[in-house]
Structure 1
Amino acid sequence: RLLGKAESLIKYVTDRPGHDRRYAMDIAKIAATLGWTPQRDLKAGLAETVEWYLSNRTWWERVLSEAYRAAHALYLNG
């Protein structure tokens, strides 16, 4: 919806072995310990993230390139 694309473009795939079925976030501990609260709700955060990727296409296209992946692998493997 955020990108204005048809839901028919979604492709469902088989889960990988050991796939986590559910993530349930609970901020109670960090809220009680540090007084932390989220700066935005999930919907606003997703919209902001999508907008960032749309505005920074040259960055993420570079990250997807084979040259970047090779350099990153070299960095990680020493």
Structure 2
Amino acid sequence: MARKIPLYLILNLQILIQLLIQLLIQLLATVELVDYLSYRNGQQAVKNLAVQPINSSAKRADSLPGLDIQHS
């Protein structure tokens, strides 16, 4: 004879599955948000590093006496 699974075990299993799915969705959303924010922060850092040599070169060129450069 096949054993019947009690109804309360089936309900507990369904609740457990729902909680696990919600937890995984929240975890995935958090990881994706942190990944996106880290990517944007990295882009900003690279942009800042790229602008620094350009600005320092422009300042040195401006400080040279007798050099007339038209900035566009």
Structure-1-length-normalised TM-score: 0.23
Which has the larger Rg? 2
Higher helix share: 2
Higher relative contact order at CA 8 Å, sep ≥6: structure 1 or structure 2? Answer: 1
* TM-score normalised per structure 2: 0.25
